[in-house]
Amino acid sequence: MEGACGKTGHFWSRRKVLGAAALPWLTPIADSLAVAAEQDASRCPKSVILLWMQGGMSQLESFDPHPGAAIAYGGRAIKTSLPGVQFSASLEQTAEWMHECSVVRSLVSQEGDHSRATYQVKTGHRLFPGIEHPSMGAIVCHQLPDPQIDIPTHISIISGDHAGRGGYLGAKYDAFRMGDPQWPVPDLSARVSPRREQSRYEALSILEESFAQGRLADLDAQRTQHISNTQRARQMMTSEQLAAFDVSAVPLSVKAPFGDHAFGRSCLAAVQLIESGVRCVEVTLGGWDTHINNQENQRKRTDILDPALASLIGELRARDRYDDTIVICATEFGRTPLHNNADGRDHWPHGFSALLGGGGIAKGRVIGQTDPAGEKKQPIQPVTVEDLHATVYSALSIDPEHHLDTPIGRPVPISEGRVVKQLLV
Res 275 pLDDT > 80: yes
- Phi, psi (degrees; rounded to nearest 5) at 101: -130, 180
Strand partners, 104: 354, 367
pLDDT of residue 161: 82
Percentage of the chain modeled with pLDDT above 90: 72
pLDDT value of residue 24:
53
Q: Is the pLDDT of residue 123 over 90?
A: yes
> 177-220 pLDDT, tens per residue?
999 999 887 666 666 667 776 776 667 676 666 666 655 555 55
Condensed to tens digits (0 to 9), the pLDDT of residues 88-116 reads: 999 999 999 999 999 999 999 999 999 99
In the structure, what pLDDT confidence band is assigned to residue 365 with cuts at 50, 70 and 90? very high
Q: What pLDDT was estimated at residue 235?
A: 61
Provide mean pLDDT across the span 335-353. 98
Looking at domain 38-184+246-423, its CATH class is alpha beta
- What radius of gyration, in Å, describes the C-alpha atoms of the chain? 23
**What is the average pLDDT score of the chain?**
87
* DSSP reduced 3-state for 394: helix
For strand 280-285 and strand 47-53, is the pairing parallel, antiparallel, or unpaired? parallel
Q: Using N-to-C axis directions, what is the helix angle for 385-395 and 114-123, rounded to 10°?
A: 30
What does the DSSP assignment read for 208-255? HHHHHHHH-TTS-GGG-HHHHHHHHHHHHHT-GGGGGG--TTS-HHHH
Task: Supply φ then ψ for residue 296, to 5 degrees.
Answer: -70, -45
Tell which wins on pLDDT, 148 or 67. Answer: 67
Nearest alpha-carbon partner for 368 in 51, 64, 109: 64
**21: pLDDT strictly greater than 50:** no
Confidence check: pLDDT of 361 > 70: yes
b/e per residue, 170-192, with b = 16+ CB within 10 A?
Answer: eeebbbbebeebeeebeeeeeee
Helix (H, G, I), strand (E, B) or coil at 400: coil
44: CB partners within 8 A, 6+ apart: 4, 5, 324, 359, 360, 396, 397
Looking at residue 12, its pLDDT comes to 40
CA dist list (Å): 36 to 27, 33, 41, 69 = 14, 5, 9, 51
User: Helix (H, G, I), strand (E, B), or coil: what is residue 380?
Assistant: strand
Q: Which of 365, 416, 368, 367 is nearest to 393 (CA)?
A: 416
C-alpha 275, offset from chain centre: 15
For the chain, give every domain's residue range.
38-184+246-423, 186-241
In this prediction the pTM is 0.86
Q: Is 293 helix (H, G, I), strand (E, B) or coil?
A: coil
Q: Is the dihedral of CA 289, 291, 297, 303 positive or negative?
A: positive
In the chain, the percentage of residues whose pLDDT exceeds 70 is 78
Region of poorest pLDDT, from 133-137, 232-236, 337-341: 232-236
- Convert the pLDDT of each residue in 390-412 to its tens digit: 999 999 999 999 999 999 999 99
Specify the pLDDT at position 125. Answer: 98
264, 308 contact by CB (below 8 A): yes
